[in-house]
Amino acid sequence: MNYLQEIAYLIGSVGFIVGIKMMGQADSARRGNLVAAFGMAVAVIATLFLDKSGFHIIGNLSYILIAIVLGTIVGTLMAKRVQMTAMPEMVSIFNGMGGLAAALISIIEWTHLKHVGEVVELGLYVPIVAGLIIGTISFTGSMVAWGKLNGKLGDFRFPAQQYINAIVLVFIIAAAYFTYSTGMASDIPWFYVTLGVSLVYGLLFVFPIGGADMPVVISLLNSFTGVAAACGGFLYDNNVMLMGGVLVGSAGTILTIVMTKAMNRSLTNVLIGMAGSGGSGGGTGASGGSVREVQATDVAIMCKYAQKVIIVPGYGLAVAQAQHVCHELELLLEEEGVEVKYAIHPVAGRMPGHMNVLLAESNVEYDKLIEMEDINPEFPTTDVVLVVGANDVVNPAAKNDSNSPIYGMPILDVDTAKQIVVLKRSMKSGYAGIENALFFDPKCGMLFGDAKDSIGKLVSEVKAL
Amino acid sequence: MNYLQEIAYLIGSVGFIVGIKMMGQADSARRGNLVAAFGMAVAVIATLFLDKSGFHIIGNLSYILIAIVLGTIVGTLMAKRVQMTAMPEMVSIFNGMGGLAAALISIIEWTHLKHVGEVVELGLYVPIVAGLIIGTISFTGSMVAWGKLNGKLGDFRFPAQQYINAIVLVFIIAAAYFTYSTGMASDIPWFYVTLGVSLVYGLLFVFPIGGADMPVVISLLNSFTGVAAACGGFLYDNNVMLMGGVLVGSAGTILTIVMTKAMNRSLTNVLIGMAGSGGSGGGTGASGGSVREVQATDVAIMCKYAQKVIIVPGYGLAVAQAQHVCHELELLLEEEGVEVKYAIHPVAGRMPGHMNVLLAESNVEYDKLIEMEDINPEFPTTDVVLVVGANDVVNPAAKNDSNSPIYGMPILDVDTAKQIVVLKRSMKSGYAGIENALFFDPKCGMLFGDAKDSIGKLVSEVKAL
Amino acid sequence: MSTVFQFIGENITYIYLILLMAFVGVELISHVPSVLHTPLMSGANAIHGVVLIGAIIVLGNAEATDYFSLIVGFVGVFVGTLNVIGGFVVTDRMLEMFKKKPKK
Amino acid sequence: MSTVFQFIGENITYIYLILLMAFVGVELISHVPSVLHTPLMSGANAIHGVVLIGAIIVLGNAEATDYFSLIVGFVGVFVGTLNVIGGFVVTDRMLEMFKKKPKK
Ligand SMILES: NC(=O)c1ccc[n+]([C@@H]2O[C@H](COP(=O)([O-])OP(=O)(O)OC[C@H]3O[C@@H](n4cnc5c(N)ncnc54)[C@H](OP(=O)(O)O)[C@@H]3O)[C@@H](O)[C@H]2O)c1
Ligand SMILES: NC(=O)c1ccc[n+]([C@@H]2O[C@H](COP(=O)([O-])OP(=O)(O)OC[C@H]3O[C@@H](n4cnc5c(N)ncnc54)[C@H](OP(=O)(O)O)[C@@H]3O)[C@@H](O)[C@H]2O)c1
């Protein structure tokens, strides 16, 4: 009955790979998550009840089970209770917990080594200290990201931050080296110095980055925690930890890069904190042309007698929590025989898939959410485009103005439609902090006001007509 | 200086992976091939001059080098001399050589085992016999494929072929088992029986499959040879053979499936030889409507005064070797200010990428070859479509007629263009052996004759105008 | 230099495993539609919770009198479980919203 | 059953390597445009020529008097080299034709 544990770990590893693969396609994504969870369950059970020589119940089983049960209850409650829009915060917390676990493992293993004497084996030391440093950075970094996402922490920049951060990083590595070279003999507890400075580094690393870039940061810290888990795999010669950790490490890194690319940014650009102003700050635009303000009544008439209406949701829709009333409007127009679709820009909102999550929450059908490439050819045959709290994703500067910071980003070609109505509160700019020439387009009318209020008015006007 | 060989093998393996990855993108494909070749060179050199303990020149170096030099000369000459259109045949031969090499290795290792006595270790025997069987099948199968591709061998079907093939396969496995269980003691040389029957199976396996399906078969045999190479990797505990072999085994299998999918077939469907008639046989179509024949002069006028002409190349273009004159026509029209593009259907011709290879040979610019998804929206704004020796890939039955064998295959939507001219020799059907309603479309004119002749006439007419 | 070679040589299998797994990760993610980025991030987050297994091993090996290891290990298992369970549940909730509604 | 388990357990690293490599192969190919199928097939064909290394090992280990092994091994190395060299050269020729021409 040997080798059962190895086989269970193999199943776990394959479960992770297949799970991630399935999660990459919309129709199998949810099952993919279950497959990965199944792999995890197999691996955990194999750890509890097997060892290299066969069946063997692990020590301190009762404590372990209590901790697992507690963790399960708390984790489930947190995950179930969280609001849809607060999901990234939740991911950030859980990510931090993983980093913390990795760091705690390293701490315990280190204290065990104390009994061994002065010389530490390199093959043992490297995974311990790497797990410590990376896990700790991931932990405090995630906590800061969480604080920023829920608005508790603001941006915090200090002069020469990049250089200071680099120096701190060098110091961590030096401390880790001293820990090794002096072993237990030194007066200074270098190991705990390494720990302490890593904690600080995690804070310094995330603090200067703009709040709106947190999804990217979380994805990066996610891959850090993966690497920390892989260190544990080395340490215990445990294949499933190694495989799972490396998989998340590499997948997370690529995901981070893909995410920044979709926002037309580079990773370094995000990391050294060159984000836009975050949120709806920025200059008040008042360029050459004049703006045409429209009233809800007019818009209601336009929509009701249109053949085809496309709704372009953006960050403002999320801020205003206007998704439900937006769905109401959609249903109402459909009853009137109007064809209604949503045009989903990949980076509309503040996290990838933000709009899908939001609209799905209000029960909009998945088929109605059309991705950018597919909807762009449809605008010329569209009578009315309603731009609800979106700005950068419909900014023609991305195409025309090679000096614009968003130049080159693919956008939704709303200006080819017959009529455009923009729902926002003011002429303020969006995330990128730049003006939008679309608003000055003669075909474009502005319906000022909070998105939820405006759409609410549209609904009652359409009903009243 | 230990471990150098392992590191070289690692470099080789990574070279293979990176090479395949780069070969998957048009702009890096050629460099990818070089990367893979570099990986191979490193691995071969490491085998000649290193072993597990460091520098060590392999025995019989002179013989080995002679064989390598001979192989290099012959291989290069063959590869350089072959006509573009005969490339699949060439690949087939080389693939067979790989299979043969794997089989020869197994034969030698087996004769070495003879000295060991009656009991063979299972861990040694399995890779030897698997390499033998798979390598042999790949060898004879590839030779048949080669013969079919260059027209030396016809299709050859016999009753109940699937069952006979299955029985032969079972017999191979039984013989392999007897080889193992009786060891060297048996009167019957089971090992050589296994070899012989495998040789036959390779023939039986490929004979019934239609000549036009050979690209698929070669791809499959390709993955077989990969697996045979991986067996060698097991046998010698050699990582680069293992990795390279497994990579080709899995990549080849998927490639085979992707290829059959592009042709709207299933792999089983191909393998049990249910191909179309192959070539331009098939029924003579004469459905309800009437056909409009046109003359080269008319077509020349249409083209010359068009704004935009799209050429749809098909198998007939390859048969007629009309690529060069086609390019001439294209240049001529461009001089007249006509916009000319080529619409490339993924399975036009008889091998994937057939049209690209052919047109590239005649120096058509890569930018002018537009893939199906991208060109389909352009047809409505096109004045003249020239369908040159293509048939199935423009057959509207794939969309309209759910009983048609090609129903569901994506096609080029030429019928949305303003005018269509089809260049072919007769009303005969194409590969799928079915009628084409397009030819009866009022917008469609037929210019009968060999494609090379017809286009030649068009060229002189356009010049004369 | 030769110590580096030796290190690589001795851990060659690990290196193969890590390299291959890294390739798998990269290839799996490169072609994912951006809509699924957030759920994927969340799912990957749950997977690195496999570090829980390390915490279990630590706690399982702690002596009955080694209160430091027991307490820290207990916390480790607890937060590790949080990562795993919370991660999978949140991902499931996100993905639930992508499911196609049955047509009325 | 338990012998199967034992076999798997003893060769677990091989199994990981094979599985991962198979995943890599599948992922690498799944998204390839069909234009490149033939060159890719040809390139993969050249790569399995790595079996040449096995032939070299066999010929390298053949005794000076073992004519059977010498001859068969020689043929093996020869055909293996054909596969490798011919494969890469043909692939290169195919891909040469895909290169973008400089604009006139
Ligand atoms: N999706 C991601 O993963 C992600 C992550 C980080 C950054 N980003 C970036 O975020 C931007 C997303 O573009 P976007 O077009 O969705 O948003 P945006 O360009 O940030 O514009 C949002 C607009 O919504 C309006 N708004 C705010 N609150 C509103 C309310 N209550 N009612 C109505 N309107 C309201 C604001 O104008 P008023 O103040 O005048 O109302 C603002 O101009 C891109 O630049 C993208 O690169 C995306
Ligand atoms: N690409 C691949 O990998 C692959 C592999 C295997 C099978 N296939 C299959 O092959 C078919 C390819 O479609 P296709 O449209 O390219 O070809 P097709 O449907 O086979 O039609 C070719 C047409 O060319 C004409 N033709 C033959 N020789 C000619 C000549 N010298 N001059 C002018 N015309 C000539 C023939 O008509 P006439 O005899 O009247 O002249 C025939 O109708 C698909 O069904 C596909 O599934 C493709």
Residues C39 and C86 reside in one and the same domain:
yes
For residue A47, the model assigns a pLDDT of: 96
Residues C38 and C21 reside in one and the same domain:
no
Ligand 2 neighbour B387 (Cβ under 6 A): no
Considering the candidates A51, A187, A237, A392, report the single residue annotated as catalytic. A392
H or E element in which residue B305 lies: none
Mutate to test the pocket of ligand 1, among A317, A344, A355, A425 (most ligand atoms within 8 A of CB): A425
Query: Model confidence over A200-240: pLDDT tens digits?
Result: 999 999 988 877 788 889 999 999 999 999 999 999 999 99
CA of B317 to the centre of ligand 2 (A): 8
User: How does the average pLDDT of chain B come out, rounded?
Assistant: 88
For residue B400, the model assigns a pLDDT of: 85
Residues C76 and C27 reside in one and the same domain:
no
Mutate to test the pocket of ligand 2, among B385, B392, B412 (most ligand atoms within 8 A of CB): B392
Residues D93 and D77 reside in one and the same domain:
yes
Mutate to test the pocket of ligand 1, among A216, A270, A345, A347 (most ligand atoms within 8 A of CB): A347
Neighbours of chain C (3+ CB pairs under 8 A): A, B, D
Print the domain residue range for D4: 1-31
Is the CB of A7 less than 8 angstroms away from the CB of D19?
no
For residue B180, the model assigns a pLDDT of: 85
Ligand 2 neighbour B16 (Cβ under 6 A): no
For residue A283, the model assigns a pLDDT of: 39
**Does residue C28 sit at the B interface (CB-CB below 8 Å)?**
no
Could you give the strand order of the β-sheet that contains A339-344, starting from the edge strand earlier in sequence?
A: A292-293, A444-448, A419-424, A384-388, A308-313, A339-344, A369-371
**Does residue D32 sit at the B interface (CB-CB below 8 Å)?**
yes
**Does residue A12 sit at the C interface (CB-CB below 8 Å)?**
yes
For residue B196, the model assigns a pLDDT of: 96
**Closest Cβ opposite residue A6 in set D2, D9, D23:** D9
Residues D44 and D74 reside in one and the same domain:
yes
Residues C17 and C62 reside in one and the same domain:
no
Query: Model confidence over B81-114: pLDDT tens digits?
Result: 987 778 888 999 999 999 999 999 999 999 888 6
Is the CB of A17 less than 8 angstroms away from the CB of D10?
no
Ligand 2 neighbour B430 (Cβ under 6 A): yes
Q: Which of A292-306, B50-64, B284-298, C9-23 has the lowest mean pLDDT?
A: B284-298
Structural contact between residues A82 and A150, judged by C-beta atoms closer than 8 angstroms: no
For residue B279, the model assigns a pLDDT of: 37
Angle at alpha carbon of residue C55, lines to C51 and C60, rounded to 5°: 145
Q: Is the pLDDT of residue B408 over 90?
A: no
Residues D73 and D97 reside in one and the same domain:
yes
For residue B2, the model assigns a pLDDT of: 65
Q: Which residues of C touch B2 (CB under 8 A)?
A: 2, 5-6, 9
β-strands B444-448, B384-388 pairing: unpaired
Q: Is the pLDDT of residue A21 over 60?
A: yes
| B-to-D residue pairs, Cβ atoms closer than 8 angstroms | 365
Q: Which residues of B touch C23 (CB under 8 A)?
A: 17
Ligand 1 neighbour A349 (Cβ under 6 A): yes
Name the H helices within A207-322: 214-235, 239-262, 267-271, 296-304, 315-320
Q: Which of B75-89, C87-101, D60-74 has the lowest mean pLDDT?
A: C87-101
Nearest ligand atom owner, CA of A343: 1
* Percentage, residues of chain A above pLDDT 90: 62
CA of A211 to the centre of ligand 1 (A): 13
pTM of the model as a whole: 0.84
Report d(CA B50, CA B44) in Å as an integer.
Answer: 10
Residues D17 and D44 reside in one and the same domain:
no
Answer with the residue of higher pLDDT: B214 or A135.
A135
For residue B119, the model assigns a pLDDT of: 66
Report d(CA B320, CA B118) in Å as an integer.
Answer: 61
Residues C54 and C95 reside in one and the same domain:
yes
Q: How confident is the model at residue A279 (pLDDT cuts 50, 70, 90)?
A: very low
Q: Is the pLDDT of residue B274 over 60?
A: no
CA of B433 to the centre of ligand 2 (A): 10
Name the H helices within A321-371: 323-335, 354-361
Q: Which of A81-90, A276-285, B25-34 has the lowest mean pLDDT?
A: A276-285
Report d(CA A228, CA A294) in Å as an integer.
Answer: 55
For residue A285, the model assigns a pLDDT of: 43
User: Residue B240's closest chain C neighbor by CA?
Assistant: C16
For residue D41, the model assigns a pLDDT of: 92
Q: What is the mean pLDDT of residues B311-318?
A: 93
Structural contact between residues B294 and B447, judged by C-beta atoms closer than 8 angstroms: yes
**Does residue D19 sit at the A interface (CB-CB below 8 Å)?**
yes
* Percentage, residues of chain B above pLDDT 90: 62
Q: Is the pLDDT of residue B276 over 60?
A: no
The phi and psi torsions of D100 (rounded to 5 degrees) equal -70, 135
Ligand 1 neighbour A386 (Cβ under 6 A): no
Is the CB of D79 less than 8 angstroms away from the CB of B235?
no
How many structural domains compose chain D?
2
Residues C26 and C38 reside in one and the same domain:
no
For residue A281, the model assigns a pLDDT of: 36
Suggest the residue from D12, D17, D26, D28 to mutate for an interface test with chain A (most A CBs closer than 10 A): D12
Residues D70 and D102 reside in one and the same domain:
yes
CA of A306 to the centre of ligand 1 (A): 27
Residues D13 and D27 reside in one and the same domain:
yes
Question: What value of ipTM does the predicted structure carry?
Answer: 0.83
For residue C8, the model assigns a pLDDT of: 80
Report d(CA A440, CA A421) in Å as an integer.
Answer: 11
Report d(CA B258, CA B252) in Å as an integer.
Answer: 10
Nearest ligand atom owner, CA of B454: 2
Query: Which protein residue has the closest C-alpha to ligand 2 atom 31?
Result: B320
Structure tokens given for A7 = 């086989």
Is the CB of D24 less than 8 angstroms away from the CB of C28?
no
Query: Model confidence over D1-49: pLDDT tens digits?
Result: 677 777 788 888 899 999 999 999 999 998 888 778 888 999 999 999 9
For residue A118, the model assigns a pLDDT of: 59
**Does residue A102 sit at the C interface (CB-CB below 8 Å)?**
yes
| Rg of chain D taking only CA atoms, in angstroms | 20
**Does residue B47 sit at the C interface (CB-CB below 8 Å)?**
no
C-alpha distance from A249 to closest chain D C-alpha (Å) = 16
For residue B116, the model assigns a pLDDT of: 56
For residue A280, the model assigns a pLDDT of: 36
